[in-house]
Amino acid sequence: MSVVYGAGRLILQAVDPSIGIGSLHIAGQKFIFLRDPELVQEVLQKNHYVVAVVAVVVVTVVAVVAVVVVVAAVVVVAVVAAVVVVVVTGGDYGKSLKGNPFDSLTDKTFGRGLFFAEDQDPQWAVAHKVLTRPFSHRGILQQSQGESVRMYDYLVKMALETLAVCSMGTHFDSFNSTEPHPFPVAFQAVLDAMFALIKVPTQLWSCCVLTMWRMQKAVGVMNGLIDEIIRKRVAKETSSSGKFPDLLDLMLDQGSKLSREKVRSQILTFLFTGHDSTAAAMSSLIVFLVANPRMEARLVAEIQAVVGSGEVQVHHIPELPYLDWCLKETLRLLPPAGNYQRMAFQETILGGKWKAKQYAPIVVDVFALHMDSETWGPDAASFVPERWEKGPPHAYSYMPFASGPRSCIGKEFSILEQKIVAVKLLQRFAMRSPTTWTAREGSVLIKASESLPCTTLGIDAEFSPQQFFAGASMPVQLHLRPSP
């Protein structure tokens, strides 16, 4: 069964829960789907990149010993040992979108930034090293009090501005100006064109002249704006917004290794992967809190006890466990990245039982993994933050950010951002659902009485086709909360 919601995203339940693995033919290609934590662990952990690093370390250590002891035979043993490490661990899964329509679309739009790069791309390792450094600053949310508002719109602006400030020391003036900045406008135009194309067989894309033209025009606008930001930084007309180098400084520092075009691709990819995902997660959190007043009350009580009405500080964050559980429970029930793909680079036997051909696409079905009642219990579909007191039932049963070398680089950043924004919102506002509301044009309305195949929302909510990452949203009425 498959149910389409939001951005043409599929909640796929192709997998037989009793065996945790299944397959589907999509556009003539066989995809393997996983929902068993052990199999997910195998595919995400046994990455050929990690194995290669282990092999190199083994070879280097033993080769050094060999030089010291001057025994050539040891070198031979080292090489054999490295080969054995590769063969025995059998780890040859990696990230590749070969065969996936997004593969060619990303070349035309965001380039090969981290998210879309093949594992074998040498630029991935360079960029990954540079970009793994933690972000040092955070953006500040400016919120307004009013009637019924679409919080999702604010959250998208907030997430985009936060990334722009933290990564490039620039902003798009989303909150102050009445006119939208050309960057987010172009960004949305690219996403709209991508979603339009994805519905058409790839062979017919060349016939979609208008969509292609719109997409290329919007890509040109984005590239021009990013190039200008890079130029100003190189000319020292701008600097990082904090006392530490920002993402742009770090990437430009690597000048010889990351070409200017690659820096641009990385920035575009960062903005693309970083803002909609966080906004979708936060929007879903609001829906769950509005639907569950008891949980909202417990969370507000925790925030008032720990932070009060003052500024939230970094040291407050670990003292807010219930907030952490609410975010985790949200990402479990509505993971913004509902699935992601790996590839078996060699023919392999998954879990010692299931044959996967060379280049077989293997999809981690995050929705199914997160909602599996065998793993999570009979209330798997419901929002129960308290379940996190014990932690996840299996180390690989909760994978909203993936795991391994290709896992989310912005995970910590996004979690911190979500927590700060949630505290600031809940300190000031009580959010309530309007008695009646209608979904935006084009959005999919899920009524409280219906339920998604897996998640029980408990309240009417909508899913927007404009979003790449999945998240529920609804209009809310904001009421100023009296000071504690």
Residues contributing to the site for ligand HEM (CB under 6 A): 95, 114-115, 128, 163, 269-270, 273-274, 277-278, 281, 336-337, 340, 400-402, 406-410, 413-414
What six digits make up the tokens of 338?
């509902």
8 Å CB contact between 227 and 233: no
Give the Cα separation of 198 and 192 in Å (integer): 10
Measured from the CB atom, the residue of 48 and 62 that comes closer to ligand HEM is 48
What six digits make up the tokens of 241?
């917004």
Q: How far is the CB of 245 from ligand HEM (least distance, A)?
A: 16
Q: How far is the CB of 185 from ligand HEM (least distance, A)?
A: 21
Measured from the CB atom, the residue of 59 and 169 that comes closer to ligand HEM is 169
8 Å CB contact between 380 and 329: no
Measured from the CB atom, the residue of 183 and 413 that comes closer to ligand HEM is 413
8 Å CB contact between 311 and 428: no
Q: How many CA atoms lie within 13 A of 259 on its CB side?
A: 8
Give the Cα separation of 427 and 152 in Å (integer): 18
Looking at the chain, the number of H-run helices and the number of E-run strands are 15, 14
Q: How far is the CB of 147 from ligand HEM (least distance, A)?
A: 28
Measured from the CB atom, the residue of 59 and 334 that comes closer to ligand HEM is 334
Q: How far is the CB of 394 from ligand HEM (least distance, A)?
A: 18
Give the Cα separation of 423 and 209 in Å (integer): 46
What six digits make up the tokens of 325?
């559980």
DSSP 420-475: HHHHHHHHHEEEE--SS--PPTTPEEE-TTS--SS---SS-EEE-TT-SS---B-E
Q: How far is the CB of 212 from ligand HEM (least distance, A)?
A: 25
Measured from the CB atom, the residue of 58 and 157 that comes closer to ligand HEM is 157
Measured from the CB atom, the residue of 15 and 165 that comes closer to ligand HEM is 165
Give the Cα separation of 430 and 444 in Å (integer): 26
In the chain, what are the helix, strand and coil shares in percent, each to the nearest 5? 50, 15, 40
Give the Cα separation of 281 and 158 in Å (integer): 13
Measured from the CB atom, the residue of 78 and 113 that comes closer to ligand HEM is 113
Measured from the CB atom, the residue of 233 and 328 that comes closer to ligand HEM is 328
Sign of CA dihedral 454, 457, 459, 462: negative
Q: Cβ-closest residue to ligand HEM?
A: 410
| Residue 326 marked as a ligand binder | no
Q: How far is the CB of 327 from ligand HEM (least distance, A)?
A: 9
Give the Cα separation of 47 and 49 in Å (integer): 5
Find where tokens 């990696």 sit: 94
Residues with Cβ within 8 Å of 125's Cβ and at least 6 positions away in sequence, in order, are none
Q: How far is the CB of 320 from ligand HEM (least distance, A)?
A: 17
Q: How far is the CB of 166 from ligand HEM (least distance, A)?
A: 8
Give the Cα separation of 13 and 22 in Å (integer): 9
* Helices 293-306/260-291 angle, 10° precision: 110
Measured from the CB atom, the residue of 375 and 414 that comes closer to ligand HEM is 414
Q: How far is the CB of 172 from ligand HEM (least distance, A)?
A: 16
* Cα–chain center distance at 310: 30
Q: Which residues are annotated as a binding site?
A: 408
Binding residues for heme: 408
